Chains A and B, each alone.
Chain A
Amino acid sequence: GAGVSQSPSNKVTEKGKDVELRCDPISGHTALYWYRQSLGQGLEFLIYFQGNSAPDKSGLPSDRFSAERTGGSVSTLTIQRTQQEDSAVYLCASSFQASHTDTQYFGPGTRLTVL
């Protein structure tokens, strides 16, 4: 079956521009997560969605970052007025439920470069 897909795979943008990153989770998975991975760093949790509950936005680094999940499926991570420090790989994952023992299935990521 299809795994988690992300688009675009690479994005180069200029400082100050807005970007949108898309994630298509595995069908039927109720939980969706966004992470950021910088060079030499682990995965930094950004936000997660569980069903129809309000998302946990506790990991978003600033108000320039936002995410939405439409119809309980596709999610979009938006970064406004991008800065060079936003350059990283943005990973999306989904799981059947948001249990701490549930397997998270990751997409291949979007590599964002802010010039």
Chain B
Amino acid sequence: TQLLEQSPQFLSIQEGENLTVYCNSSSVFSSLQWYRQEPGEGPVLLVTVVTGGEVKKLKRLTFQFGDARKDSSLHITAAQPGDTGLYLCSGYALNFGKGTSLLVTP
């Protein structure tokens, strides 16, 4: 099993702040996915990164895949309350990290 470590585990910030969350592994992944899960719902895919060094942007969210394809980061610019949720990373073989629980307060 390829272990995915996510940090921080919890993050509470105010609206308008920037933040970065991380997903790390000692193993190489051919691809990595980020999901967001809101309370009472299932996770929803945000992005898939495939190429080492790849950067993808989704509005105020920026995703980066490490050059060695062992780690990834998610940066949110000017966070909004609607960004609140559990952010999960997932690698091949159906592994998910424990997630970062983000709370953005007005």
A67 at the interface (CB under 8 A from B): no
A108 contacts across to B, CB distance below 8 A: 40-42
Say whether chain A's binding surface is mostly helix, strand, loop, or mixed: loop
A53 at the interface (CB under 8 A from B): no
Surface stretch bound by B, among A13-21, A69-77, A99-107: A99-107
Per-position binary interface string of chain B over residues 21-47, scored 1 when its CB falls under 8 Å from any chain A CB and 0 otherwise: 000000000110100000011111100
Q: Known A40-B98, A42-B88; judge A91-B42 contact (CB<8 A).
A: yes
A101 contacts across to B, CB distance below 8 A: 31, 33, 48, 50
Contact A45 B95 (CB under 8 A): yes
Q: Known A100-B92, A101-B50; judge A41-B42 contact (CB<8 A).
A: no
A106–B93 Cα gap in the complex (Å)?
17
Q: Known A43-B88, A59-B94; judge A109-B31 contact (CB<8 A).
A: no
A15–B85 Cα gap in the complex (Å)?
32
A33 at the interface (CB under 8 A from B): yes
**Which residue, B45, B88, B97, has most C-beta atoms of chain A within 10 A?**
B45
Contact A42 B42 (CB under 8 A): no
A48 at the interface (CB under 8 A from B): yes
A59 contacts across to B, CB distance below 8 A: 94
**Further contacts, 20 of them, CB under 8 A, given A41-B98, A104-B45, A108-B41:** A4-B42, A35-B94, A42-B6, A42-B96, A42-B99, A43-B88, A43-B90, A45-B94, A48-B94, A91-B42, A91-B43, A100-B30, A101-B31, A103-B45, A104-B43, A106-B41, A106-B43, A108-B40, A109-B40, A109-B41
Q: Chain B: residues with CB nearer than 8 A to chain A? A: 4, 6, 30-31, 33, 40-45, 48, 50, 88, 90, 92-99
